[in-house]
A = this chain, B = another copy of it.
């Protein structure tokens, strides 16, 4: 009798497991079929990028985009849509130019972009000799005397050996973030950095910099394209060169703004699953991959749950975060409000790596939760998602980490992202409709599993 039970039990359990996995597999295909056949994410992105365009937080275009997001969340079938107040910094670029010349040469204009949050020259010409350093170590060798009154040029390139360009971005990131503070403390007048880019072109890329709290100098920081950077390095190895910078950028206080939120109510409880991206972008290009893609994918998931009648147990909430690019105020405010409202969040996922073909999902959570999600890998494989090993989460949802919320981020293929990121090149035509929609498919499938199992 006993031995019979021991024989039958695994078969019985096996049967349940098999049919459960089969049922999940069918829902995975339903989600995929719906998005690949009827998905509106691509057309929504066209609308956002072409009719609103770039939308730096604090700008009029950003405010327009909040109304756009409200409208799109309603169209997608959200049960409830609202705006969450966020105080954002207002940084304005204004006119800017950079010229360089050798000792006996003529002034020559370079394509450039001031870095976000940088102070400018207040419309006056700032002229000085350029000194070149390859990296931080080289810079640290220079005395304050050598740096004082100069414009320091950092030409630290993306390391092509990293397979993930995100790693190369991480590796080079401190030059954009901190070079102005390093150089300012030694008395430099300004810094020029090589753009954080994997491209072999001459497109300048902006992005956030910051001044150290104890940094009184606040010298201007600008980025030039990779080709200009290599040419300037070559020039400076044989002769002196000078730069003339004129810019009007700077901080203009703070402003009341909004993140936009829409949700479909849970059928079992009001515990929240967040899926989101950031609605703001830099003030160049169209903010298509960064992060229009994450916004339209998140709205697409809500639309799909509603359309398929998936009857979510928990509340599925789309958050279009304000001010990721130069402050993360949207993400911080959202996490603060969770605590104030005493809401329970069981999971958060963000898409902010571009609308490229998905390769997996990064998981920032307890080991047993990671293991559970990894055990679902075979369900995701037919959709091209195989990598569940990375451990990080989107910048906007990261503030929820301290509240113990399990977090994740979509991992799209990274090869093309840093050619267009934060530049004039981040436009709608660089987005492929199937790649964009597949990203929504994979996130929607994971949300389906978590909603059902957690």
- A residues bordering B, Cβ < 8 Å? 32-33, 36-37, 160-161, 163, 165, 198, 200, 357, 359, 382-384, 386-387, 413, 415-416, 419, 432-435, 438
Write the chain B residue with the least CB distance to A165. B434
Write the chain B residue with the least CB distance to A36. B160
In the assembled complex, the CB of A49 is this many whole angstroms from the nearest CB of chain B, namely 16
20 additional A-B pairs beyond A165-B434, A413-B413, A416-B435, beta carbons within 8 Å, are A32-B163, A36-B160, A36-B161, A37-B161, A160-B434, A163-B383, A163-B384, A163-B438, A198-B434, A357-B357, A357-B413, A384-B413, A386-B386, A386-B387, A415-B432, A415-B435, A415-B438, A416-B432, A416-B434, A419-B432
| Most chain B CB neighbours (cut-off 10 Å) among A163, A198, A200 | A163
Question: Which residues of the partner chain B approach A200 to less than 8 Å between Cβ atoms?
Answer: 433
Closest 6 interchain pairs by CB? A415-B434, A36-B160, A386-B386, A415-B435, A33-B161, A357-B413
Question: Which residues of the partner chain B approach A32 to less than 8 Å between Cβ atoms?
Answer: 161, 163
Question: Which residues of the partner chain B approach A36 to less than 8 Å between Cβ atoms?
Answer: 160-161
Copies in the complex: 2
Can you show 5 pairs from A to B with CB atoms below 8 A apart?
A32-B161, A36-B161, A37-B160, A359-B384, A419-B432
Instruction: State the CA gap A42–B142 with chains docked (Å).
Output: 38
In the assembled complex, the CB of A44 is this many whole angstroms from the nearest CB of chain B, namely 14
Write the chain B residue with the least CB distance to A416. B432
In the assembled complex, the CB of A41 is this many whole angstroms from the nearest CB of chain B, namely 13
Question: Which residues of the partner chain B approach A433 to less than 8 Å between Cβ atoms?
Answer: 200
Question: Which residues of the partner chain B approach A434 to less than 8 Å between Cβ atoms?
Answer: 160, 165, 198, 415-416
Instruction: State the CA gap A435–B32 with chains docked (Å).
Output: 26
Question: Which residues of the partner chain B approach A416 to less than 8 Å between Cβ atoms?
Answer: 432, 434-435
In the assembled complex, the CB of A183 is this many whole angstroms from the nearest CB of chain B, namely 29
Instruction: State the CA gap A200–B32 with chains docked (Å).
Output: 18
In the assembled complex, the CB of A436 is this many whole angstroms from the nearest CB of chain B, namely 10
Write the chain B residue with the least CB distance to A413. B357
Question: Which residues of the partner chain B approach A165 to less than 8 Å between Cβ atoms?
Answer: 434
Write the chain B residue with the least CB distance to A35. B160
Question: Which residues of the partner chain B approach A161 to less than 8 Å between Cβ atoms?
Answer: 32-33, 36-37
Write the chain B residue with the least CB distance to A34. B161
Question: Which residues of the partner chain B approach A438 to less than 8 Å between Cβ atoms?
Answer: 163, 415
Question: Which residues of the partner chain B approach A419 to less than 8 Å between Cβ atoms?
Answer: 432
Question: Which residues of the partner chain B approach A359 to less than 8 Å between Cβ atoms?
Answer: 384
Interface pair B413/A382, CB less than 8 Å apart: no
Q: Quick one: given A163-B382, A163-B383, A163-B384, are A357 and B33 in contact (CB under 8 Å)?
A: no
